[in-house]
Amino acid sequence: MSKYDVIVLGSGPGGYVTAIRAAQLGFKTAVVEKESLGGVCLNWGCIPTKALLKSAQVFEYLKHADDYGLTVKEYDKDFDKVVKRSRGVAEGMSKGVQFLMKKNKIDVLEGFGKLKPGKKIDVKGADGKTTEYSADHIIIATGARSRELPSLPQDGKKVIGYREAMTLPKQPKKMIVVGSGAIGMEFAYFYNSMGTEVTVVEFMPNVVPLEDEEVSKQMERSFKKSGIKVMTSAEVTKVDTSGNGVKATVKTQKGEQVLEADVVLSAVGIKTNIEGIGLEEVGIATDRDKILVNDYYQTNIPGYYAIGDVTPGQALAHVASAEGILCVEKIKGMHVEPIDYNNIPGCTYCMPEVASVGYTEKAAKEAGYDIKVGKFPFSASGKAKAGGNADGFVKVIFDAKYGEWLGCHMIGAGVTDMIAEAVVARKLETTGHEILKAVHPHPTMSEAVMEAVAAAYDEVIHL
């Protein structure tokens, strides 16, 4: 039986980052993976979807070339090539993780891992053979998958999850997207840009329901302007896949209606991968589909830890990575501070993009803060206008008493690359006045952050 200091179960952005940090800290480390290194994020999520979205963005530019004074007489898309490019990007990234494993002398144990008492783990390979390993510390990072609703069972062909949506054999003429979180909105944008007739069905009153209400309303306007049908306060109660396509019965406040499409994409959240991995045998406590951990990701059983989507924090790649690093640094005995989950940025990569961190305006008021709110539209930004991307705005929320930056919400082109300013500033407890006095470059989209802060303090110049 091989013995390690640390074994990580799962090689997604939580697992492989955790393994690398453990190796850097001098631990003899192994990672268990049943499929492809990089997990869902690199192979079926974050990375390949961005490749699809980039193709959609380029196609959109071609459609609107005339707006930029350019004439493009002939252009078209090759859906199959777009998908192949996306898969190529994913494969390249997965090979990159393979290189990092070798570079950091991390053993990759291929197969399905099952936890055992006594800090042991069985790994069943593709040949059916099982090998037992042990470690002083076992870290669970098995991630999550597409959640299925009883009213929306996935068959992988007519009712699909995000995985199938990335590799459809042919482009559908009509698609219904159920759920308007990041996954649903990104695929709705992609397929609409490619020419598919898309309808988004959202159970909550607003699309991207976790975002600030003003962002949600702007997103709905932008989607409708691009030809996407949006149904809010609506629920798919049943689907009929017996015919050539799909008939989805949608319950709305005005009654029921039946939508017809070639395919339905279910994007209603995720289900953690905690079944069959030995939690019950070891005695690891769970609650509502999540593994219970403390601030340092220790479970109730010494020597077993959990990070990423299987724990109660936000199910985001960057959260999983941060949790894994903190977990192994704590194991090493380093001084670490618990993660502030109210300072985690969230990003949606459709067009316009959405990025946010901290309190929404509503949440700040409910928390009892007396607030100052500033908003700057990209329609007043020289860089946005020059780039032909004037949709959207930056909104900031400050505590009126102490100047604490409570929240930042952005919608527009490239805002996912801008949100880090707010994250770092909030981490450093920066005040609104300090942001105002930090000179921002002109002309840039990032000026809108400074201008929004200026608006909060009645000092805005360009509005």
Instruction: Quick: pLDDT tens for 49-90.
Output: 999 999 999 999 999 999 999 999 999 999 999 999 999 999
User: pLDDT-derived band of residue 461, with 50, 70 and 90 as boundaries?
Assistant: confident
The pLDDT-based confidence of 462 (bands split at 50, 70, 90) is confident
Residue 322, classed as helix, strand or coil, is helix
Tell me the torsion sign for CA atoms 259, 264, 270, 275: positive
- Packing angle of the helix pair 213-225, 182-194 (nearest 10 deg): 20
Cis geometry, peptide bond prior to residue 443 (ω within 30 degrees of 0): yes
Decide: 146 and 230 in contact? Cβ < 8 Å: no
Share of the chain above pLDDT 70, in %: 100
Same fold, 159-268 and 352-456: no
Q: Is the pLDDT of residue 234 over 90?
A: yes
- Provide the CATH topology of domain 352-456: Enolase-like; domain 1 (3.30.390)
Model confidence at 379: pLDDT above 80: yes
| Mean pLDDT score across all residues of the chain | 95
Supply the pLDDT for residue 40: 84
205-218 pLDDT, tens per residue? Answer: 999 999 999 999 99
In which band, very low, low, confident or very high, does the pLDDT at 140 lie, cut at 50, 70 and 90? very high
Measure the CA–CA gap between 17 and 55, rounded to whole angstroms: 28
pLDDT tens readout for residues 318-345: 999 999 999 999 999 999 999 999 999 9
309 annotated as belonging to a binding site for a ligand: yes
Q: Was 407 annotated as part of a binding site?
A: no
Residue 457 phi, psi dihedral angles, 5° rounding: -105, 20
| pLDDT reading at 18 higher than 70 | yes
pLDDT at 1 over 80: no
- Inform me whether the pLDDT recorded for 389 exceeds 80: yes
Determine whether the annotation assigns residue 403 to a binding site: no
pLDDT confidence bin for 41, thresholds 50/70/90: confident
Tell whether domain 2-145+271-332 is in CATH 3.50.50.60.
yes
Q: Confirm whether residue 113 is marked as ligand binding.
A: yes
pTM over 0.75: yes
The 8-class DSSP code of residue 149 comes to: B
Question: Could you state, in order of their start, the residue ranges of all structural domains in the chain?
Answer: 2-145+271-332, 159-268, 352-456
- Is there a binding annotation on residue 193? no
User: 3-class DSSP state for residue 132?
Assistant: strand
- What does the block give as tokens for 330? 């704590």
CB 261 within 8 A of CB 249: no
In the predicted structure, residue 112 carries a pLDDT above the cut 70: yes
Distance from C-alpha of 318 to C-alpha of 178, rounded to nearest angstrom: 25
pLDDT of residue 44: 84
The pLDDT tens digits for 146-204 are 899 999 999 999 999 999 999 999 999 999 999 999 999 999 999 999 999 999 999 99
CATH for the 159-268 domain, from 3.40.50.1820, 3.40.50.720, 3.50.50.60, 2.40.110.20 = 3.50.50.60
CB 392 within 8 A of CB 413: yes
Question: What is the DSSP secondary-structure string of 75-124?
Answer: ----HHHHHHHHHHHHHHHHHHHHHHHHHTT-EEEESEEEEETTTEEEEE
Which helix (H) or strand (E) segment holds residue 450: the answer is: helix 447-456
pLDDT at 220: 96
Quickly count: other Cβ atoms within 10 Å of residue 271's Cβ: 13
Catalytic positions:
442
